[in-house]
Structure 1
Amino acid sequence: MRKLWIMSAALLAFFTARGQEHNEPPYVPETDPAVLQKLDEWEDWKFGLLMHWGPYSQWGVVESWSICPEDEGWTQRKPKGIPYYEYLQKYEALGKTFNPVKFDPSKWAKAAKDAGMKYLVFTTKHHDGFCMFDTKQTDYRVTGPQCAFSNNPRSNIAKEVFDAFRKEGIHAGAYFSKPDWHTAYYWWPYFPPKDRNVNYDIKKYPERWEHFKQYTYNQIEELMTGYGKIDILWLDGGWVRPRKTQTKESLSWNKTQPQDQDINMAAITKMARQHQPGLIVVDRSVHGPFENYRTPEQQIPDKPLSYPWETCMTMAGSWSYVPNDKYKSVNTIIHNLVDIVAKGGNYLLNVGPGPDGELHEAAYTTMHNIGLWMHVNGDAIYGTRAVAPYKDGKVCFTRKKDGSVYAIYLLDENEKLPAAISFKGITPAKGAKMVMLGTNEKLRWKQAGDAVEISIPAAVQQKAWQHAVAIKIDKVS
């Protein structure tokens, strides 16, 4: 055990130094005991669901970005060539026709639970400013009188979603966009927007910015007081930040002179935690005291990180609904999950509902098949931490809090379980017992030089194993 902890500590120290060598701003540890406890619980959950949904699903276009006047691949308007303000008018009118009559969050929640997901992050508002909750700050909302869905008894979508998921034992997280491209306090119609940032001079019009800060504060307080227990406040739009916190990456998001877009995160966080004690706050990409964990997007770090982190990734190709989107294979998703967890992270997997409120059938099938694996192998995933070395060849390692270790062998598509699995870097204690999850048969093992070789009985090999197998080692030296 002592050797195991020394190895883990050395690993964390190495990658802390590695981050500093690459000029990554240091992670600022949380000091609130209630938040630290919640973060520890969150690190046990490992697997969550992210959902991007809004009126844009009616067109099957990328969420919000097509109204951003930047010439990037993900901001293109459909059809191409349509004048900007004509497009903006049509896009904002989607809020009136949004009518997801098949909306049934209990079906989503049951599918997520079946997949083994432990927490949800739901988009209450994206950058376009359309609110999927019953805010009193604007009529540009799903419960607004102009919205086709407003007369539906389930019109307060965020509340219905959070309630349904909590009923299944899944923790609730609120995605909230700091920038708001609809409110005149951020994109003032007096000026044309130039890029994703505020479109007026904050120093010249400080009162307007103060209105925006209050608008943002009020909306977050509504979410923290009227929607039950919220475990995570997941803030997107990292260009809305104090000028002093700008990085090379965030400066690249400014086509004009960067401004001091300080919304007073200290006040927002204090208020939010008064209503939701222990709340995890994730001010994405703004490195500092309000980024309780970091969120690499659509990528998995090469090595373990020295702070809490979560890879957010699409289940298919797009964050939002696309009619014929192609979903990742279950094998790919399981391998991603094992890789992430072995490196000490969480996996937040995104799906986008369609305009009628339904998910692609492929989403339900994918989640069900993930669940088939998780129901057998979940003990190797939940409640684990990274252990050095996190991986050797096709074997990943996870550590339980009791000191036991899992060796997880990654199976290629249609690969049969081999007669022997070997790895280096983890040394079982003398007399250690090994068992493969999904069987009750103890496995024989031996030390072969600096490697460990585990024999797989023929009867175990012949089972229809898929994706990966997890072998529990009850004691390591």
Structure 2
Amino acid sequence: MHFFRTSTLALLLLSTLPAFAAADDELGDYVPETNPQVIRKLDQWQDWKFGFMMHWGAYSQKGLVESWSICSEDVDWCGPPKHNKFAAKYADDYVGYVKAYEQLPTTFNPVKFNPDAWAKIAKDAGTKYVVFTTKHHDGFAMFDTRQSDYKITAANVPFHTNPRANVTKAVFDAFRARGFGIGAYFSKADWHSDDYWWRRYATPNRYVNYDTRKYPERWQNFVKFTHAQIGELTSGAYGPIDVLWLDAGWVRKPRATDNKELTGIADFRPGPEDIDMPGLAALARKHQPGLIVVDRAVGGPYENYRTPEQKIPDQPLPYPWETCMTLGDSWSWVPHDKYKSARTVVQMLVDVVAKGGNYLLNVGPDGNGELPPEAVARLHQIGQWMRVNGEAIYASRAVAPYSAGKFRYTRLKDGTVYAIYLPADGETSLPSTVRIPGPAPAVGTDVKLLGDESSLDWRRDGDATVVDIPDATRQHLAGGYAWAFRLPGAAPAL
């Protein structure tokens, strides 16, 4: 197992983490970064802890799942959705549905798009960086690319006359103005490109649909096209970018197991899909020195951090990582989505951070360009908790024992440890006395609960810190999603 090496601080923190196998959607060894600029950026990214993601495109106007409905694999999330009004008439007509889907940009006119409002909402939620879908697998670019007419600024897209038609630039500028780190999601696959899904052949699955060894020039055209779009995004036209978040992990150099160990998703690859990641990363970093590159689910030197999707690892991971998760059930906007409670999100965030990860929370704007009101309400509630307890989250790192019963632990560089109590369902207030296993506060220091300035009586009993909590404090903090105890000097300063 390879370990992430950034600085003395990172080494000391990671040396305490147990070995843990990569999540099952992550392939290949983790290779530590050696570029000092990238290492510094990774350390800064780890300080941010809480990020905001948005899947948004022409599909949003019809409440369709992003891209996957035009993929013909026999899995639940592919094909025309059964309960969607737009897709219903194409239930038995895949070809007709794909044609209709590809025409969605001609009616896409999100006149209520206001990136400043998005950034304000994300800031209110306590998030520190944004990852925006500049282009998903369907190939529709949400930026003013010169490589294709399948883009938000094309003449046949009603929104192209809007002053904010170059959506990606408008989003990046608005979030950067509020101090956010900037991440560009970009799919390496492009199902609209004739050099990826060649119209001469059928498209049986997500992979390129022709033998790239038989038609190398066609594949090289696609590689050049992809590099050119990455060059555009990372150029100065879109301002400083911190993270290049690459999706479609199947677009990669071949492995010995390809076409041998089928996974149940029609996993047959007509030919290698080597996108030339060394050249792509070099091009992007020429424009953006220190850029974090996340070639997700691939492994190797261009997956600077890993991204378990819709799940939280059981234990800390020995490399930088980020759980990406939806606030609702869907990545993109769908009608009547079911959103997680603020309490659930806060407790997930605490669990992720205690294990040394970042938490990237996704909300899909609707077809008009607005964030759903129910999602906005949840984000505001999360932000209320973060404004009180953020010091236990931001710029923290994992510390043993990571978790113990209802407690999760984080630490700051000055040696302060936070023991965060996660109440059970129906538990609305803290007990009058708690036993906090593990790290001991420095002798003579004040133990406090974030959100209340009262110094609490505490004592050590064996390997636990016993804290007495007055009724007034318990009542003051009642109803919290989680409660954070500050334990000064419980770990060595670094």
TM-score w.r.t. the length of structure 1 is 0.95
Shift of 1:10: 5.1
Note if 1:203 corresponds to 2:240.
no
TM alignment of 1:350-429, pairs within 5 A? 350-412=362-424, 413=426, 415-429=428-442
Deviations 1:421-443 (A, max 9, x none): 21222233333331111121111
TM alignment of 1:36-75, pairs within 5 A? 36-75=39-78
Per the alignment, residue 30 of structure 2 pairs with 27
Aligned 8 A contact 1:251 1:258 in 2: no
SS in 1 for 2:331: coil
Unaligned runs of 5+ in 2: 1-8, 81-86
Shift of 1:246: 6.1
Assess, with a 3 A threshold, how the Cα gap between structure 1 residues 318 and 359 changes in structure 2: closer, same or farther.
same
CA distance in 1, matches of 2:63, 2:22: 38
Assess, with a 3 A threshold, how the Cα gap between structure 1 residues 113 and 20 changes in structure 2: closer, same or farther.
closer
Per the alignment, residue 302 of structure 1 pairs with 314
Assess, with a 3 A threshold, how the Cα gap between structure 1 residues 291 and 361 changes in structure 2: closer, same or farther.
same
Q: In structure 1, which of residues 93, 97, 111 is the aligned counterpart of residue 103 of structure 2? A: 93
* Equivalent position amino acid for 2:223 in 1: K
Identity value in percent: 53
Note if 1:468 corresponds to 2:482.
yes
Assess, with a 3 A threshold, how the Cα gap between structure 1 residues 391 and 207 changes in structure 2: closer, same or farther.
same
Aligned 8 A contact 2:23 2:308 in 1: no
Shift of 1:257: 4.0
Q: In structure 2, which of residues 356, 375, 382 is the aligned counterpart of residue 344 of structure 1? A: 356
Aligned 8 A contact 2:73 2:266 in 1: no
CA distance in 1, matches of 2:37, 2:259: 33
Assess, with a 3 A threshold, how the Cα gap between structure 1 residues 340 and 9 changes in structure 2: closer, same or farther.
closer
Per the alignment, residue 228 of structure 2 pairs with 218
Shift of 1:7: 8.8
* Equivalent position amino acid for 2:16 in 1: L
Aligned 8 A contact 2:25 2:297 in 1: no
CA distance in 1, matches of 2:23, 2:251: 24
Per the alignment, residue 125 of structure 2 pairs with 115
Note if 1:150 corresponds to 2:163.
no
Per the alignment, residue 15 of structure 1 pairs with 19
Shift of 1:450: 2.6
CA distance in 2, matches of 1:414, 1:21: 34
Pairwise CA RMSD: 2.2
Shift of 1:250: 9.1
CA distance in 1, matches of 2:139, 2:449: 49
* Equivalent position amino acid for 1:36 in 2: I
Aligned 8 A contact 1:123 1:174 in 2: yes
Aligned 8 A contact 2:72 2:79 in 1: no
Assess, with a 3 A threshold, how the Cα gap between structure 1 residues 291 and 92 changes in structure 2: closer, same or farther.
same
CA distance in 1, matches of 2:270, 2:320: 29
Q: In structure 2, which of residues 248, 255, 265 is the aligned counterpart of residue 237 of structure 1? A: 248
Assess, with a 3 A threshold, how the Cα gap between structure 1 residues 293 and 105 changes in structure 2: closer, same or farther.
same
Aligned 8 A contact 1:67 1:75 in 2: yes
Per the alignment, residue 4 of structure 2 pairs with none
Aligned 8 A contact 1:238 1:250 in 2: no
Deviations 1:148-193 (A, max 9, x none): 1111111111111110101111111100000000010100101111
